[in-house]
Structure 1
């Protein structure tokens, strides 16, 4: 077994790991730092789609395969049409992000990709990383693996955002490519919070996805039943081809991932609690947290300084408590949220950039006995 030392090692080449590596590569402060990225996968397949909203084009906007400024929500017998301006909703295929990130990083002499499986990370005077084939050391490790303790924890509130989606092509032009369906609750699976999500790529191609916010997952063919029914009965499409499938799970949780950060090991991505607990969105939050880590390193601060805002942790906990206690309330919650608030207020709140007054407006729109009960339970 060989052993090599690096200044920084990033464990996991997912969204957080690659965004962090790109930030290192773009800042001359790190030009003489040796950096390694270790992942068992070479990231050559499209395993997910990331969606986000923003007002201006930022670092990764050019990778978006489609953008929208209009959205529709169907909830509790009501159709809500949203004009997203001044925001634009964007979607990026993971494979496009992986491909561009690897191309940029492979041009850096100080950055190395290692296709290996990490088996342990141990902090001593320096950090020791063991893979199935080699040993490495580093001054600092950024680790995206989810701690084993998460799967054993019984105290944290944890729901799972689990989904399956088909990219379908149709014979006729049936989709409005200028608008997407953010949530459609018309097709029920008992009293669970579950909805359809439709992202048109073109007039005859779209991602149709069935998503749950629940404590338990379902078998793969369970999603298929609802996808087929929705496409037939709600989209009125009888002839189509499935050209791609995506399936995944995202933890929505109050678990304290921060407890696993140390002075030399920083948990990042899903394993660092970077996924927003109430929504499962992570793309833009990851970009901001990466920028904060870079700032902290350059100013000789702890890497995790200022990564989280406690009030949003509290809001997410209340939301998750409501859905845990009354999962059927999800449809009502999102109907209230999107029908009672304007777009800038909603997106600022979800981006964790809202003022106290805006927070109060949001909370007032969700005022109910369930939220009052969850609020005091969270306290």
Structure 2
């Protein structure tokens, strides 16, 4: 059997594309194959994003906040001003995906992809059990070793450990989140705490680094303990833990796209390199995929076109890779010298060139100029 669409891996990007394809009628009469070894029925991650008013994903939100603050020792700045910071737990998205696609001709093989290739106007996906043929392949399998061995494009890692805790007393304001709390000790890195209250006595505390290297799991947990102690929380229960590592790089993943194979999600460079935020980028890129599929002739080598934001992200990653201690200074300068709404608009890649310059002008200029010339000669 030759499938119309094969998805190697079922992450956020794959699910988002399939849902949008179904909503726009593209899947009618089509056969879809998903090659994914995991069941995807556990709550194994969370996605957060900011948005004005009601949105398409509100039906599966875990929580939303009307205020979200940037914090350091000197300031506390509300970043939203009319928008909402929204959170979706993966279990909600997995359930929504199954519900949306239950009437599709979707086949799921719980196998691990070994390799794939384009051959004779088809794509061939190989697993340990079988070979599968399709007309188009969407690949979301990410190989970090390829980035580790690449010297031209530096790799930062947004690495984090989170605790979902419950307190005996009502301690939190469920309308207010801490977007970034840079009051924690930096220790030569870019480190902050991320606090998302889910109710008056439940919250997620996530200790986060933007750094080239990872810490031991115990180090993250020790920092969370110290932070909870610092804010006066000593009696609590840990309900669940999560950990993750998001690559932050401007490596040109799109150059690996072929006529019939499109790399998506992290494997396609859809993660925002300068922030690690993924959900909003995936919404935008998955819609571009759907629009692309409506063309008469498909050639995914033409899908990606680098923009000015690719260049900005490249400079940011290079600066922090070469001096990881500068993160706090950069973010403090941005949030104290610029309109927070403009910063969020900039991170969503919706700003004009004039607005870009306002953000850029607020950053430490010397280090970015040095980065500009470093990137120019590579």
Whether TM-score is above 0.5 comes out as yes
TM-score (norm 2): 0.95
Alignment of 1:357 with 2:375, yes or no, is no
- 1:146 corresponds, among 142, 154, 157, to 142
Alignment of 1:84 with 2:95, yes or no, is no
* Contact 1:297–1:303, Cα closer than 8 Å, also in 2: no
Q: Which residue of 2 aligns with 1:344?
A: 341
Distance 1:94 1:338 in 2: 30
Distance 1:144 1:115 in 2: 15
Distance 1:214 1:97 in 2: 29
3-state SS of paired residue (2:187) = coil
Distance 2:314 2:155 in 1: 10
Q: Which residue of 2 aligns with 1:372?
A: 369
* Contact 2:259–2:301, Cα closer than 8 Å, also in 1: no
3-state SS of paired residue (2:16) = helix
* Contact 2:258–2:301, Cα closer than 8 Å, also in 1: no
Query: How far off its partner does 1:74 sit?
Result: 2.0
Query: How far off its partner does 1:336 sit?
Result: 1.4
**Structure 1: tracts of 5 or more residues without a match:** none
- 1:39 corresponds, among 29, 33, 36, to 36
* Contact 2:49–2:86, Cα closer than 8 Å, also in 1: yes
TM-score (norm 1): 0.95
Could you say if the C-alpha distance between residues 374 and 83 of structure 1 is closer, same or farther in structure 2, counting changes exceeding 3 Å? closer
Q: Deviations over 1:267-305 (max 9, x none)?
A: 000000000100000101101111111111102353464
Distance 2:270 2:215 in 1: 25
* Contact 1:106–1:112, Cα closer than 8 Å, also in 2: no
* Contact 2:159–2:209, Cα closer than 8 Å, also in 1: yes
Q: Which shows bigger deviation, 159-168 or 31-40?
A: 31-40
* Contact 1:70–1:81, Cα closer than 8 Å, also in 2: no
Q: Deviations over 1:238-275 (max 9, x none)?
A: 11000010001000012121121000110000000000
Alignment of 1:285 with 2:281, yes or no, is yes
* Contact 1:166–1:207, Cα closer than 8 Å, also in 2: yes
Distance 1:304 1:74 in 2: 42
Query: How far off its partner does 1:46 sit?
Result: 1.3
* Contact 2:7–2:34, Cα closer than 8 Å, also in 1: yes
- Kindly report the root-mean-square deviation, in angstroms, between the aligned alpha carbons of the 2 structures: 1.5
Query: How far off its partner does 1:23 sit?
Result: 1.3
- 2:94 corresponds, among 67, 91, 98, to 98
Q: Which residue of 1 aligns with 2:252?
A: 256
Q: Superposed, which structure 2 residues align to 1:232-251 within 5 Å?
A: 232-233=229-230, 235-251=231-247
Q: Deviations over 1:126-175 (max 9, x none)?
A: 11111121221001100001245333222211100000000000001111
3-state SS of paired residue (1:279) = coil
Distance 1:375 1:170 in 2: 48
**Structure 2: tracts of 5 or more residues without a match:** none
Q: Deviations over 1:196-247 (max 9, x none)?
A: 00000001000000000000001111111101010111x2111100001000
Q: Which residue of 2 aligns with 1:177?
A: 174
Alignment of 1:270 with 2:228, yes or no, is no
Q: Which residue of 2 aligns with 1:113?
A: 108
Query: How far off its partner does 1:343 sit?
Result: 3.2
Query: How far off its partner does 1:335 sit?
Result: 1.0
Q: How many residues align?
A: 373
